């Protein structure tokens, strides 16, 4: 994955389990060695993925009406 700002390949700093967060279960830290931007990637939990699936289902059933 490249830096949003300068396009340099980001360096992965590690994955961490989130605490007290029902929607995202893992956060990955990446940083840019060129412009020193910091990027956190929040990985959705099973619960949030299910919610999005439900949402998509509802959206597509609305479209077919």
Which residues contact Zn ion by CB under 5 A?
A: 3, 5-6, 8, 32, 34-35, 37
Question: Quick one: 33 or 55, whose CB is closer to Zn ion?
Answer: 33
When the beta carbons of 6 and 49 are compared against Zn ion, the nearer one is 6
62 vs 65: CA distance, rounded Å = 5
The residue (of 11 and 49) whose beta carbon lies closer to Zn ion is 11
CA atoms within 13 A on the CB side of 23: 4
How many residues are listed for the chain in this entry? 65
State the minimum distance, in angstroms, from the CB of residue 12 to Zn ion: 14
């Amino acid at each position: 994955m490249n830096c949003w700002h300068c396009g340099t390949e980001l360096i992965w700093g590690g994955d961490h389990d989130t605490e007290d967060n029902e929607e995202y279960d893992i956060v990955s830290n990446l940083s840019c060695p060129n412009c020193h931007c910091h990027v956190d990637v929040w990985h959705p939990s099973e619960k949030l993925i299910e919610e999005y699936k439900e949402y998509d289902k509802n959206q597509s059933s609305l479209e077919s009406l």
